[in-house]
Amino acid sequence: MGKTKDIRTAVEAELRVDPKVDAADITVKNVGGDVALNGTVLSYPQYLGAAAAARRVAGVTGVHNHLEVVLPPGDERDDATLAAAANNALGGSSTVPNTVQATARDGNLTLAGFVRSGAQRAAAEHAVAGLTGVRNVRDQIEVVSGDPLSDVTVLVQDALDRYAVPLDNSKVTVSPSGHTVTLTGHVRTWAEHDAVVAAAWRAHGISDVHDEVQVTS
């Protein structure tokens, strides 16, 4: 009981001190390190920021983001206006190819099309995430690569070596199949988790990464 309360209290404290998140209407539940965020925030960046803040807390092994974005008066955009703004943002990014398009419905953006790398897909999400009027972003972009698969195992191990905490016992297994890679095993922190997943996406020839890595903290 004490540990459960400590983790919840720590997540609540991290949310309060994060300058990018207004935590006034966020409630936190914790069951053995599995944290759920409920309530409302005023923007999609705050929605993302709240989950990132929770992942920074020691002992957190999972984060379920159930927050709803309730836009303040004046920030709502009709579908046509928001879609146009999103497509302009995508077109203005030097990293996002012109094969990605956005549509909007009730403040929810959907990104579709195809790119050649995970970095390009992440860039598309980043390009539209901060637009006024966005409640959520659904990424349906396909990664299509004809490049030969590079050594993903080396990239993942290098990432672990950079991010590992002292006396670390993290272990990640990389299982390639065609242009898809499955990551299994365990790490102790979310920083390690995010680093190995990002490293896998950086590999040449990757079309999809199945993330089955557990954070044991």
| All domains in the chain, ordered by first residue | 2-69 (3.30.1340.30), 79-143 (3.30.1340), 152-215 (3.30.1340)
Report the pLDDT averaged over residues 208-214. 90
- Percent of the chain beyond pLDDT 90? 63
Strand partners, 95: none
For the stretch 115-142, pLDDT in tens is 988 889 999 999 999 999 999 999 999 9
Q: At residue 31, does pLDDT exceed 50?
A: yes
pLDDT of 104 = 98
**pLDDT band at residue 75 under the 50/70/90 scheme:** very high
Mean pLDDT (the chain) is 89
Worst-scoring range by mean pLDDT, 48-52, 110-114, 176-180? 176-180
CA dihedral 11, 16, 19, 21 (to 10 degrees): 70
**pLDDT band at residue 1 under the 50/70/90 scheme:** very low
Give the burial class of 98: count Cβ atoms within 10 A of its Cβ; 0-12 exposed, 13-18 middle, 19 or more buried.
exposed
- Residue 21, both tokens: 């998140």
Q: At residue 203, does pLDDT exceed 70?
A: yes
Worst-scoring range by mean pLDDT, 70-84, 86-100, 108-122, 152-166? 152-166
Give the burial class of 62: count Cβ atoms within 10 A of its Cβ; 0-12 exposed, 13-18 middle, 19 or more buried.
middle
**pLDDT band at residue 111 under the 50/70/90 scheme:** very high
pLDDT of 5 = 66
Q: At residue 151, does pLDDT exceed 60?
A: yes
pLDDT of 119 = 85
Give the burial class of 53: count Cβ atoms within 10 A of its Cβ; 0-12 exposed, 13-18 middle, 19 or more buried.
buried
- Percent of the chain beyond pLDDT 70? 91
pTM for this one? 0.82
